Structure 1
């Protein structure tokens, strides 16, 4: 655990200066342009080029690149629809709903904020808030909106008996709704 803490401390203390960041972005842009000039663009080819031909450039920014990569992996994991750790039936499996859902709430000052909640822990109030935010938008029906409307319809009969939307969907599945 101490290795993890020291790595985290290093990541926090070693941030790229804005000059280093601009230089690295310029380097990446040039490398991307060069790699796609005579052939199709390939991320794997650009990564391979950085690792094999430019390891010194990568060494200077490796902590920042690692932190960015971990952030991207975490975001992708939160947006994923299927859980690798879920052992039981997934009541959200046929909906376009990530494993973590952005739920709006008002902070102490009344400002709108967003919290990420596990989809299995969504409350009926959370669902109501999500749908209310869409009611503030133009009427274009997105797939997400249709799925949340369907979740609300299927879970509605179980509001009084289920603690979460996940439980309500299990009950609806059991009852054939």
Structure 2
């Protein structure tokens, strides 16, 4: 899809949004319904891009989800506000800060240290995520020398009643 087609669709979409919100409160479902029922030809021209956008949104939502549908055992991260995949900072070959998504069950102690170090670079306001990662770090600390991952360390802490 060309930039012209994309701009054209955005203008069209803006018009549909404006038109529907004049008559009543704004509703995403109503806008989607109008496009699907009254303007399928417009959607047909950009369906690949719309599908790619939708898939990216689904992947992001899945990575942020807290509960895994494929987890067979106990979820050691269940009561923490930590997504199934966690952004872990690292330096690329040129020394530039990058972010990798890792399964929370495969986080290493070095990963946890890097995540917490990035928060130390920020303002002092503590977020819920920061509190959870600090608690994870505290609970996992006694097992640094025996566990391969944070997930294993949390299992050991749970087993030991910590």
Give me the TM-score of the superposition, normalised by structure 2: 0.98
Match of 1:158 in 2: 143
Residue 19 of structure 1: aligned partner: 4
Q: CA deviation at 1:44?
A: 1.2
Unaligned runs of 5+ in 1: 1-15
Map 1:1-177 to 2 at 5 A.
16-177=1-162
CA distance in 1, matches of 2:40, 2:50: 13
Between the aligned partners of 1:173 and 1:41, the Cα distance in structure 2 is: 47
CA distance in 2, matches of 1:167, 1:37: 55
**Count of matched residue pairs:** 162
RMSD, aligned α-carbons: 0.7
Unaligned runs of 5+ in 2: none
User: What's the TM-score, normalizing by structure 1?
Assistant: 0.90
Deviation at 1:38, TM superposition (A): 2.4
